[in-house]
Amino acid sequence: MIITVRGAKNYKDRDLPLSENILILLREYYKKYAPNKYLFEGQKGGKYTATSIRQTFNRVVKKVGIKKNATPHTLRHSYATHLLEDGVDVRIIQKLLGHHSLNTTMIYTHIATPTLLKVKSPFDSL
């Protein structure tokens, strides 16, 4: 399924794939909470502020025992890295992240050490 994110950064719309697994969870959430205006609403029905999102994220990070410094923005880096490690073309990742410059996308893609260890050296074929 494709969803359209309206008015993202720089007020540009962007089409993104939505996982079927996430769609199932979102439907369950919607049935349970019946939001009015925003899918995720604060206690008073308005949208969450950036501060409240960060605070909630920090509580979850602490609760699950993540020791590294993590922010909601870290999820973008993880998303890009996992896509790259799964073989997704970097130009597609660029589009998904909404970047104009491929150089910006490359900042988001971190190669994990286990992935590097899987690379076969050309010298092994000599």
The H-or-E segment that residue 53 falls in is: helix 50-63
Mean pLDDT, the chain, rounded, equals: 89
Count of H-run helices and E-run strands, the chain: 6, 2
Domains in the chain: boundaries:
1-41, 67-119
Q: In this predicted structure, what is the pLDDT of residue 45?
A: 84
Q: In this predicted structure, what is the pLDDT of residue 7?
A: 80
Name residue 94's amino acid.
Q
Closest CA to 1 of 23, 34, 29: 23
Which string of b and e fits 44-69 if b means at least 16 CB within 10 Å?
eeeeeeeeeeeeebeeebeeeeeeee
Closest CA to 102 of 90, 112, 111: 90
Distance CA 56, CA 72 (A): 10
Ranges of the chain whose pLDDT falls below 50 = none
